[in-house]
Amino acid sequence: MCAERSYDGRMAMIKEKDRATLAQLGEKLTQDVDVTLYTQRASALAVPGVIPCETCEAAEDLLQELGEIIPKLHVTIADLVENLEQAEEDDVNRVPTIVLGGRAQRRARFMGFPGGYEFATFMSAVLEAGSAGEDVPDVLRAKLGELSKPVDIKVFVTPS
Amino acid sequence: MASLAVTFSMISPRITAEIIEAQEFTDIASRYTVMGVPRTVINDNNDDALEGAVPADVLLQKILEA
């Protein structure tokens, strides 16, 4: 996904030709999905000990645009430092982190910039969160339903 | 693997799924000795991680054994 300049002079993260495709995908959502991006707003001052977030601004732009294209996505941008209490509730301490609501009920998250090659991964997670989830075989569903202890799954991915 | 993990987290309220971009969070990636992707770590058990994409029943089995 390359950036191109939009009508207001801002660099658009999502190409015009991709917008229609995404809007179509968005129509498949059967429920609304809250998408919360924890970010670090750019500061004019370098704060000692604080690592600047190189992808936060791009992640914010991308999600804002996605929210405009898919009305069922409710995008919230939350500065990590200014929303510590909420971040703690979501167990988030790094940026950028995107917490998915909807059917994911805030138990699924994406850490890192969701664009580039990982955009498809991110979108599939979003679409899952907003779907009825009927595509899962009953056997699998039953076995997962029997889980008695908490299970954390970490999946490492890269953009290239 | 990523969307499978997310799907699982939606089915069971006991499952949390984290998709982590390894090049952006190199400290976490090195803690979990990520050499290739996707690498799937269940309950921080790094010695028994899944390398590459696996079918849903394999991931399920890992989870049940965890």
In CATH, what number is assigned to the domain containing residue A48?
3.40.30.10
Assembly ipTM: 0.98
Q: Is residue A152 part of a domain?
A: no
Per the structure, the complete domain to which residue A11 belongs is given by 4-145
Torsions phi, psi for B38 (to 5 deg)? -75, 145
Q: Is residue A131 part of a domain?
A: yes
The pLDDT value recorded for residue A6 is: 46
Cross-chain CB nearest to A118 (options B12, B21, B43): B21
Count Cβ atoms below 10 Å from residue A58 Cβ, excluding itself: 18
> Which two structure tokens, joined as six digits, stand for A53?
């977030």
Answer yes or no: is pLDDT of B33 > 50.
Answer: yes
The pLDDT value recorded for residue A107 is: 94
> Which two structure tokens, joined as six digits, stand for B34?
């990520």
Packing angle between helix B2-11 and helix A138-145, nearest 10 degrees? Answer: 60
Q: Is residue A47 part of a domain?
A: yes
Kindly determine whether residue A125 and residue B15, on different chains, have CB atoms separated by under 8 Å. Answer: no
Answer yes or no: is pLDDT of A134 > 90.
Answer: no
Task: Please report residues of B whose CB lies closer than 8 A to that of A150.
Answer: 14-16
Per the structure, the complete domain to which residue B10 belongs is given by 2-65
The pLDDT value recorded for residue A121 is: 87
Q: Is residue A28 part of a domain?
A: yes
Task: Please report residues of B whose CB lies closer than 8 A to that of A121.
Answer: 2-3, 19
Tell me how many domains chain A contains.
1
Provide the edge-to-edge strand list for the sheet that holds A97-100: A73-79, A33-39, A97-100, A108-111, B15-21, A151-157, B39-42, B50-51
Kindly determine whether residue A112 and residue B25, on different chains, have CB atoms separated by under 8 Å. Answer: yes
Selected for mutation to probe chain A from B1, B3, B4, B6 (highest A CB count within 10 Å) is B6
Interface of A with B in 45-104 (CB under 8 A): 55, 94, 100, 103-104
Q: What does the pLDDT average to over B24-53?
A: 95
Q: Is residue A125 part of a domain?
A: yes
C-alpha–C-alpha distance, residues A106 and A90, integer Å = 7
Pairing of the two strands A73-79 and A97-100: unpaired
Residue A21: partners with Cβ closer than 8 Å, 6 or more residues away: none
The pLDDT value recorded for residue A52 is: 83
The pLDDT value recorded for residue A1 is: 45
Tell me how many domains chain B contains.
1
Cross-chain CB nearest to A55 (options B24, B40, B56): B24
Q: Is residue A153 part of a domain?
A: no
Kindly determine whether residue B21 and residue A108, on different chains, have CB atoms separated by under 8 Å. Answer: no
Looking at chain B, which residue has its C-alpha nearest residue A104?
B10
Interface of B with A in 6-35 (CB under 8 A): 6-25, 28-29, 32, 34
